[in-house]
Structure 1
Amino acid sequence: MKETLVEKADKLAGYTTFILIFLGVIQIIFGEYFSRSIALTANGIDCIGDGFVSAVVWIGLMFFKRPADKRFHYGYYKMENLASGIAAVVMIGLAIYIAYRSINQLMDPNPIETPLIGAILALIAAIIALSLGFYKFRKSKKSKMGSVKLEAFNTIKDGTASGLTVVALILSSQGILIADGIVGLIIAIIIITIGFAAIKESSYILIDACDGECVDISFSIKQIAQDFKEVKSANIVRLRKSGPIFQGELEIEVSDDMTIKEFNKIKENINNKITEIFPEIERVTITAKTKD
């Protein structure tokens, strides 16, 4: 099931890469050489940047599907988080350039040529990007993959930016020239906000930080173990998130006279209960200690 979801996410990321880059190139060419619109050019750059983000996620998912080997004992799950971080850095870099161009336009507004044709191009890009983005967002909920969710938000953001570009070009056609620069700046701020949030999330996972959802799951695992009458207490729960899955350790206190066979049985029962409630947990290593 997990492999099927990854394969679907992989294909979606691949399709999105080519679609967004194509839309971006068309908008940049028209924005730079025909309409002279900063917002349309910025949106085109944003589209290509988002296409590159999708490409990075695509490559990350290709590594993600590899099984564990002699070099990577825990598999390639964290490649997905690394891909998220790299994609976010690219997004922020592009946003800074867009902000620079937008500020220049605000300080020295230039008239837009053929704004309505540009608005039609941006509208087509908005419809395609929003359709792809919301579809991928629904899929990301099932896969629980951070990079897929980032890519979905990124594509939705791209569609929203295209919609704002439509508004800017229509306003520019009515003589409100600063609309072009304002929308370009708004697009840059949106990109930076999403980018920093993604860097924070992926960085936490890469250094095995456990907060938010991870803390809640740790508490629940402890409660699950303590519900078994053979377990006197659950002392230590350590969880680490890799991509969409969790791996962890659990230390339980049992009676001095418990046999290895009995312990293996209770360990199996605890693991089965944990994975039944939390299917995203791939493995929990359970160790026993007796009261000193």
Structure 2
Amino acid sequence: MGSDIEHGHGHGHGHGQQGRGRRFLAAVRHLITPHTHDSADKTDAALESSRLGLRVLGISFMILVVTASAQAVVVALSGSVALLGDTLHNFADALTAVPLAIAFSVGRRAATRRFTYGYGRAEDLAGIVIVLLIAASALFAGYESVRRLFDPQEVGALGWVAGAAVIGFLGNEWVARYRIRVGRRIGSAALVADGLHARADGFTSLAVLLGAGGVALGLPLADPIIGLLITVAILFVLRDAAREIYHRLMDAVDPALVTLAEEIIAATPGVSRAGSIRLRWIGHTLRAEVDVLVDQEMSVVEAHHVAVDVEHRLIHRLPRLGAATVHTDPDGPELTHAHRPLIAHRPGGHSGTRPEPA
């Protein structure tokens, strides 16, 4: 037996967002159909995470546009091809906020008969786009570095170029820290990946700075050599971002969460022991499906009360858990008999009452 009670934390509704003054976010929101949920508290919690994610995207979008615009002015003054590439790159990367903003907005839609778990997985799809953009950043930086290694370009107004590179690095690093911090806070792998993307772009800007310094010291090949080193750094960022998204797509969770869930279940009055525990991320919210064993002499009503208590404790104590389905099994000889019709349909022919080892 089970239930799907979800829990929020008392955040207030705020469907009228135009007063916030962010036209970019408002434009995206107008594309999305309004949503409804059965539980007001659950809606508040989901909306708060989505609003926070959208706020991060809007602010970081504006920061990156201002950063790239400042670099564009210096490009016009210096004629630096390297800085031009970095500037165009930063303008393009500011637009990565678009797929994520759409994903956050789509994720707020109510579940349907076709998408019964809702639309939270849209974030993971946006994460794939971001990983591809990081890969494109690495290819672009590597190509430009190799090209300049064999065909060095003269750079003028080195002081201005260095200043613009610093602006590019600081802007991207600020955005990276902001996105990563909030992404981890709300459990969004896609937002964390986008923060890592911004960090990779900061490395690209830093390459322009160090290259300009090398040229000023009479080392014309310093720029492309440092560019190649920065490309390697971007590849490490790509690895981390790809791993983050891969884990989400494969329904991976931190094993410590499973251990915590086991402890919560074991401490619940009426539970003999925990059975199988399955956790998965849907967007930036966890969902749990667990089996618990109770005294086989319990009545249906008593077992249901235990299941509800387990669910309530999990939702309160397991970070980012939005919903849990709890199934009770009799703990005793009746367990094997009760599951006999299902054993042949389960992998390995086991009863499924114990979690499989990782």
TM-score for the superposition, normalised by structure 2? 0.72
| 2:179 aligned partner, one-letter code | K
* Residue 286 (structure 1) shift: 0.9
Q: 1:97 aligns with which of 136, 140, 162?
A: 140
Provide the rounded CA distance (Å) in 2 between the counterparts of 1:134 and 1:207. 26
Larger Rg: 2
Alignment-derived partner of residue 231 in structure 2? 188
| CA contact 1:116–1:173 (8 Å) conserved in 2 | no
Q: How far, CA to CA, are the matches of 2:228 and 2:70 in structure 1?
A: 21
Correspondence 1:256 to 2:296: yes
1:124-135 matched pairs, under 5 angstroms: 124-135=167-178
- Are 1:179 and 2:219 counterparts? no
Alignment equivalent of 1:71, drawn from 106, 114, 119: 114
Residues 50, 91 of structure 1: 8 Å contact kept: no
2:79 to 24, 35, 45: 35
Superimposed CA distance per residue, residues 54-103 of structure 1 (whole angstroms, 9 cap, x where no aligned partner): 22222221212222223211111111111111111122023212211211
CA displacement at 1:22 relative to structure 2: 5.5
CA contact (8 A) 1:14 1:55 kept: no
SS in 2 for 1:232: strand
User: In the TM superposition, what is the alpha-carbon distance from 1:282 to its structure 2 partner?
Assistant: 1.3
AA partner of residue 236 (structure 1): S
The Cα RMSD (Å) is: 2.5
Deviations 1:181-219 (A, max 9, x none): 1232233333332223222321232232x35x1x22122
2:165 maps to 1:122:
yes
> 1:204 maps to which residue?
247
What's the TM-score once normalised by structure 1's chain length?
0.87
| 1:82 and 2:125 are equivalent in the alignment | yes
Question: How far apart are the structure 2 equivalents of 1:200 and 1:55?
Answer: 22
Q: Which residue of the other structure, out of 49, 56, 61, is the alignment partner of 2:104?
A: 61
Query: Which residue matches 1:106?
Result: 149
Summarize deviations over 1:93-145 as a string: whole Å, max 9, x none: 23212211211212232321222221122222233333333333332332121
Query: Which one has the bigger helix percentage?
Result: 1
When residues 277 and 76 of structure 1 are mapped into structure 2, their CA distance, relative to the original with a 3 A threshold, is same
Tell me the number of residue pairs that the alignment of Structure 1 and Structure 2 aligns: 288
Deviates more, 1:219-228 or 1:12-21: 12-21
Tell me if the contact between 1:171 and 1:177 (Cα under 8 Å) persists in the aligned partners.
yes
Contact 2:279–2:289 under 8 Å retained in 1: yes
C-alpha distance 34-176 of structure 1, shift in aligned 2 (>3 A): same
Q: What is the SS of the residue equivalent to 1:77?
A: coil
Q: What residue number does 2:184 align with?
A: 141
CA distance in 1, matches of 2:133, 2:76: 22
Which stretch of the first structure deviates more once superposed, 83-92 or 216-225?
A: 216-225
1:35 Cα deviation from its structure 2 partner: 3.2
Structure 1 pair 201/152, CA: closer, same or farther in 2 (3 Å)? closer
Higher mean displacement: 25-34 or 96-105 = 25-34
Aligned residues of 2:145 and 2:228 also touching (Cα < 8 A): yes
Unaligned runs of 5+ in 2: 1-10, 12-44, 335-358
CA distance, structure 1, for counterparts of residue 181 and residue 243 of structure 2: 23
Distance, in Å, in 1 between the alignment partners of 2:73 and 2:222 is 20
Distance 1:115 1:100 in 2: 22
